[in-house]
Structure 1
Amino acid sequence: MDRTLSILKPDAVKLDLTGRINTYIENSGLKIIAQKMLSLTEKQAASFYHIHQERPFFIELVKFMTSGPVIVQVLFGKDAVSKYRAIMGDTDPKQAAKGTIRGDLASDISENRVHGSDSIDNANKEIAFFFAEYQLL
């Protein structure tokens, strides 16, 4: 059993898609074991997405992630990272399969509703970034 981080991005919160996204998560067999809403500061968003700092979309990404509240979650279950990545769908909603979060609920690559960890190692780091106070590690 593994854990992974999920972020319901500002567009998902603004469009009130959080319940629908949670249904995708729960129907996949993953459990939401921690969840909180917060507003990221520019410093937090830049730190969290530091691996993209050399990419042309970095400033836009930080601006978007600070444009409204997000919901961060810890998901738990068998193969949590790969399972969540599968239900999120392709980063580009136009390429995402129907039946996935992005395929069904997103329309734009820059506002694609959700973030999910890409490896167990990164999941542990990302969970610690947002949930250190709960000592989930």
Structure 2
Amino acid sequence: MSRTFAMIKPDAVERAISGKIIAKIEEAGFNIVAMKKVQLSLADAQAFYAVHKERPFFGELTEFMSRSPIIALAMEKPDAVAAWRKLMGATNPAEAEPGTIRKEFALSIGENAVHGSDSDENAAIEISFFFNHFEQV
């Protein structure tokens, strides 16, 4: 069993489709071990996405991520990172496979409904960014 981090982004929370996304997560066999709805400040978003600070899209990304609440999730399943990335689908919803979250719910490359960790190491970092050890069951 391994863990990964997932985030339902502002665009999906604003459109009130979080429940549909969570249902797909659970239907795919993930066990949600922690979940919370939070509002990121611009500084929080900049800290979370610090790895991208030199990229041209950093400002737009962090403004988007702090514009309204997100839902943070820590989830477990065998090979959780790869399983979640497959369920999310390609960043560009036009290229995402049918049945994936981004194919069904993303509006664009930028407003693509969900975020997921890209490695076990980053999953641990991202989970600890949002959850302390008391919040994970």
Compute the RMSD of aligned alpha carbons. 1.1
Retained in 2: the 8 A contact 1:4–1:116? Answer: yes
Structure 1: distance between partners of 2:127 and 2:64: 21
Structure 2: distance between partners of 1:133 and 1:62: 26
Structure 2: distance between partners of 1:133 and 1:2: 16
Which ranges of structure 2 fall in alignment gaps of 5 or more residues? none
Q: Please give the TM-score of this superposition, normalised by the length of structure 1.
A: 0.96
Look up the match of 1:3.
3
Look up the match of 2:41.
41
CA shift at 1:135, angstroms?
6.3
**Structure 1 consecutive aligned stretches of length 4 or more whose deviation exceeds 3 Å:** none
Q: 1:91-134: CA deviations, max 9, x gaps?
A: 11111111000011113000000000000000000001110252
Retained in 1: the 8 A contact 2:42–2:63? Answer: yes
Structure 2: distance between partners of 1:32 and 1:21: 12
Question: Which amino acid is the alignment partner of residue 129 of structure 1?
Answer: F
Structure 1: distance between partners of 2:107 and 2:99: 14
Q: How does 1:1-137 map to 2 (within 5 A)?
A: 1-132=1-132, 134=134, 136=136
Identity %: 46
Question: Which amino acid is the alignment partner of residue 65 of structure 2?
Answer: M
Q: Please give the TM-score of this superposition, normalised by the length of structure 2.
A: 0.96
Structure 2: distance between partners of 1:85 and 1:113: 13
Question: Which amino acid is the alignment partner of residue 120 of structure 1?
Answer: D
Retained in 2: the 8 A contact 1:94–1:107? Answer: no
Question: Which amino acid is the alignment partner of residue 29 of structure 1?
Answer: G
